[in-house]
Every structure is written in structure tokens, then in C-alpha cells.
């Protein structure tokens, strides 16, 4: 079993839809949770960074962490064609103090005009 | 552009040659990480370095791969005697402080082995 599971998709939605992206994980020591966006042939771009459980909102993006269920989510409101990309969840174990990130496989999102 | 800079963006090598990938971290960042992305797979951690020190190399293959981050100049990921299976995108990230600070990525080096 992978430490971090993420449905690769692809996920196709119409413009303006609310998008829900999710990851599950198995290591209860993970404390830091991140979402990255990666366009084709480019590097991952940090979207959201959260510590422990709870919600965090930034513009059209909301990140949720449920540590009891080992489940994290990213919601995108009013999705735009420019949101079409691969979304990667990542997490790290605070006890290791090395910052080594464990990534999900990534979900490919297509927002159709 | 004050972001993480990687070069070259594309590198082609024949089997048995050496590949050198360079990474300059963001200004003010002294922590560097290397990840590898194989086709259809997620990013896999390789190594974490601070200036002149390797902190965690648990993701590095035992042979042919090495990394350094000298006092002056960029971090270097070196692959000796490359094989076809080394073909991948190699990404460098940097952070400002201790391990759990947010990591910011460069656009990667795409290595192709003929």
C-alpha cells in the first residue's frame, strides 16, 4: 500500500463548477499537508500549505485536513479553464525534521469552457 | 526571476555517460531537495542538503548517484554511467529554514538516455 493515495483521474468539469480533489494517507505521523499545481512541462507550484487539522481558504481555493480519517481535500470554486493542470497532494512527517515530502500520484483536471 | 533555477532544462545522454544537473535555490534559501518524477508516477524524494552537508539521502540509489551543495555555487546532482532507466524529470526544491518550511520547486531537468 502506498503511503499517499490519490486518484489520477482524469477529472473533467465544465467551467464554473466546484472541483473536489482528495488524498488519503496511512502514516499518522504526517503533520504538514500541501497542495501543488503542475502544468505540463513545468515544476510544481505551491497552492496551499496547512499544518495539522482544519480548513484554510485562499481565494477560490480551500484546503481541508481531517487527521482522524487520514483524508485531505482541495476545493476549487468557480473553476476556470486556466485551472486545467495536474494537482499533487504532498505531506511530511514533522518528527523526521528533514522536510522530506511524500507525494500522491497527482490528479489531472480539465476544465472545459 | 527570484525562483528556483534549474539547468539545463533538457539533457540528452548516451548510456554510460555522466549527467550533471544544477540547481540554484531561491534567494535566501539554504535548504535544497532533489526529487525524481518518472513517467506516470508521482514525485519521489531523493536527497536533502544544506550548505556543504547532506542531511538525508534515504531516497538516493546506492550506486552511480551523488549530490552536493557547496559553499559557493549551485547544488549538483550527478549521475554516473547513466542507463535507460534514469530517464526522468528531476526537480529541485528549496526552502528557507528547517525541514518543514514550504518547499518551492524549479521547472526541472528532463533527462533522456539514448
For residue B69, pLDDT beyond 80: yes
Average pLDDT (B6-14) is 97
Chain A positions in Cβ-Cβ contact with residue B59 (cut-off 8 Å): 100
Provide the shortest C-alpha distance from residue B65 to chain A (in Å). Answer: 18
Mean pLDDT, 10 residues at a time, chain A of 113 residues: 88 97 94 94 94 90 95 97 97 78 95 96
Q: CA-nearest residue of chain B to A46?
A: B104
| pLDDT value of residue A35 | 97
| pLDDT value of residue A66 | 94
Chain A positions in Cβ-Cβ contact with residue B58 (cut-off 8 Å): 100
Say how many C-beta atoms besides its own lie within 10 A of residue A87's C-beta: 24
Pairing of the two strands A107-112 and A61-66: unpaired
**How long a stretch of residues is chain A?**
113
Q: CA-nearest residue of chain A to B95?
A: A99
At residue B85, the 3 state secondary structure works out as: helix
| pLDDT value of residue B22 | 98
| pLDDT value of residue A34 | 95
At residue A22, the 3 state secondary structure works out as: strand
| pLDDT value of residue A108 | 95
Cβ proximity of B45 and A100 under 8 Å: yes
Q: Is the CB of residue B98 less than 8 Å away from at least one CB of chain A?
A: yes
Residue A68: all three cell numbers together = 482522524
Amino acid at each position: 500500500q502506498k503511503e499517499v493515495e490519490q486518484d489520477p483521474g482524469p477529472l473533467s468539469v465544465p467551467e464554473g463548477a466546484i472541483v473536489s480533489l482528495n488524498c488519503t494517507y496511512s502514516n499518522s505521523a504526517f503533520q504538514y499537508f500541501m497542495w501543488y499545481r503542475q502544468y505540463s512541462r513545468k515544476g510544481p507550484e505551491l497552492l496551499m500549505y496547512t499544518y495539522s487539522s482544519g480548513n484554510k481558504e485562499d481565494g477560490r481555493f480551500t484546503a481541508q485536513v481531517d487527521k482522524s480519517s487520514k483524508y485531505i481535500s482541495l476545493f476549487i470554486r468557480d473553476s476556470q479553464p486556466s485551472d486545467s493542470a495536474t494537482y499533487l497532494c504532498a505531506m511530511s512527517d514533522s518528527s523526521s525534521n528533514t522536510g522530506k515530502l511524500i507525494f500522491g500520484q497527482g490528479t489531472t483536471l480539465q476544465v472545459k469552457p | 526571476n527570484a525562483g528556483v533555477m534549474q539547468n539545463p532544462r533538457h539533457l540528452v545522454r548516451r548510456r554510460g555517460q555522466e549527467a550533471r544537473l544544477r540547481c540554484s535555490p531561491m534567494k535566501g534559501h539554504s535548504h535544497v531537495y532533489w526529487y525524481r518524477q518518472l513517467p506516470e508516477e508521482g514525485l519521489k524524494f531523493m536527497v536533502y542538503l544544506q550548505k556543504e552537508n547532506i542531511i538525508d539521502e534515504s531516497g538516493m540509489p546506492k550506486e552511480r548517484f551523488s549530490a552536493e551543495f557547496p559553499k559557493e555555487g549551485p547544488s549538483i546532482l550527478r549521475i554516473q554511467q547513466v542507463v535507460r532507466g534514469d530517464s526522468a524529470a528531476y526537480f529541485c526544491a528549496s526552502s528557507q529554514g528547517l525541514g518543514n518550511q514550504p518547499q518551492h520547486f524549479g521547472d526541472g531537468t528532463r533527462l533522456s538516455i539514448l
